[in-house]
Amino acid sequence: MSASSLPATTPAATARPADRPSRALARMLSLDDFEAAARKRLPRPIFGYVAGAAEDNQSLRANRDAFGRYAFQPRVLVDVSRRSQHIELFGRRYESPFGIAPMGISALSAYRGDIVLARAAHEQGIPAILSGTALIALEDVIREAPGTWFQAYLPGDPARIDALVARAARAGYETLVLTVDIPVSANRENNVRTGFSTPLKPSLRLAWDGLTRPRWLAGTFLRTLLAHGMPHFENSFATRGAPIVSASVLRDFSARDHLNWQHVARIRAQWRGTLIIKGILHPQDARLAREHGADGIIVSNHGGRQLDGAIPPLRALPGVVAEAGAMPVMMDSGVRRGGDVLKALALGARFVFVGRPFNYAAAVGGQAGVAHAIGLLRAEVDRNMAMLGINRLDELDASLLAAA
C-alpha cells in the first residue's frame, strides 16, 4: 500500500489533547502508576492474567532489564524548537512512534475494553491492534475505530485460515498481524496461582474477588452480562467462538503447531492489505518473512508470556534489522517510558507497541484513562527528544546510545 494511496492526515487521525483528566487520573504520572491502581481495581484472577507471564518470569524481567543496558549519549546546544514525533508507516501518518499492542480478553478488564482501547488510539492518532482472542467482534471494533489493525491466531487448517482472513477483509481491516510465537499454549503457572483459568471456572474464590471489587463487578462484569450476555471469544475463527466458561475453549486454541511458512505464503496470496508477522526473534526468520512477502515484522517475545528465557526483543533488534532489508521492523515487550521508545528506535525499530499499561489504564479510567496514558508517553518522548538534541525521529541512531 503506497503512501500516495492514502491521505497523510485525516481529522480523526490527528492527535488532540485529551480532556482534562479526573482527579484520579491526575495522580497517574507514569505508565507504572496505572498498574498499581489496576491491582486495586481488578479481581485478583483478572489482574494476574494481565500481569503474569510464563513459568519463572525470566523473560518478563529481562524485557525491562534490557533497556537499562543502554545509556543515552545526548548532543547539546542544538536548536530543538521544531520537534515532531510523527511518523509515516505503511502509507499512513501516525502522531507518535508507538501504538497499542494486542491483548486478549481486554473486555474483562474494562467495559467494552477492546473498543475503549481502539477508540482512544484512533482519536489520538496512533494504531491499536485488536487481539484474535478478543471478546468483542472484530466488525464492532473497526466500526468504532477505523484504521484498527487485526491480529490473528491461526491454526494450521487452510479452510479456517481462508475464512478468517476473508472475514477480516470484509470487515474493512487493511492491516493483518499474524502472530507466530504460540504453536502451543504456554506454561502460565501464574494464572493458576491467581485463580485464572481458560475456560473461566466459577468458584467461591472468583465470586469473593468480584464482590470485593464492586466497581469492577457492577461497571464491567454485570454491565457486560446485562447488555451483551456471556462473553464469547469472537475472533478466533470466521464464526463466533465459545463462551469464556465453555470447556470447548481449549479445543478452539489447539492445532496451532501445524502453522508454517507455507501458510504464510497462502495468506500473502489472499491478503491484499498490509501483512505483518509478529513474534520474530531470530534474524533468519526476519529474512524468511521478507522472502515470503511480509510488509513488516514485530520483534516480540509475547511480553514474556510464551517461551520463558527467550531473548528480550530489544537485544534481538540489531540482528533482526540487519536481515530485514527495507522491510519495517517494529518491536514490543517491556516498553514503559518514552526513553524506552527512543532506545528501540535508535537500535533500528521503526515503531513500538505497548500492551499491559494501556490495559491497566482502561481498567482504571476507561477511554479517558487510555487517552491520559497515551498523553503521558507522548510527553516523555517529546521531552527526551529535546534533551537528546533531535527534532525528528529519523535523526535517531545508535550513536546516541552507549553501553550502560
| Binding site per annotation, positions for FMN | 102-104, 131, 151, 179, 278, 300, 332-336, 355-356
Q: Is 86 a catalytic residue?
A: no
Rounded CA-CA distance 14/92 in Å is: 11
**Residue 291 has which C-alpha cell?**
522472502
Q: Are 364 and 20 in contact (CB under 8 A)?
A: no
361-to-64, 317, 348 alpha-carbon distances in Å? 19, 28, 28
Binding site, by residue number, is 49, 102-104, 131, 151, 153, 179, 188, 278, 300, 302, 305, 332-336, 355-356
Q: Which residue in 56, 262, 3, 72 sits closest to 154, CA to CA?
A: 262
**Residue 326 has which C-alpha cell?**
527495507
Q: What is the DSSP string of 174-197?
A: -EEEEE-S-SS----HHHHHHT--
Burial of 217 per CB tally in 10 Å (0-12, 13-18, 19+): middle
Q: What H or E segment, with its residue span, contains residue 234?
A: none
Peptide bond into 199 cis (omega under 30): yes
Given the residues 122, 232, 302, 372, select the one marked as catalytic.
302
Binding site for glyoxylate, by residue number, is 49, 153, 188, 302, 305
- Where in the sequence numbering do the catalytic residues fall? 302
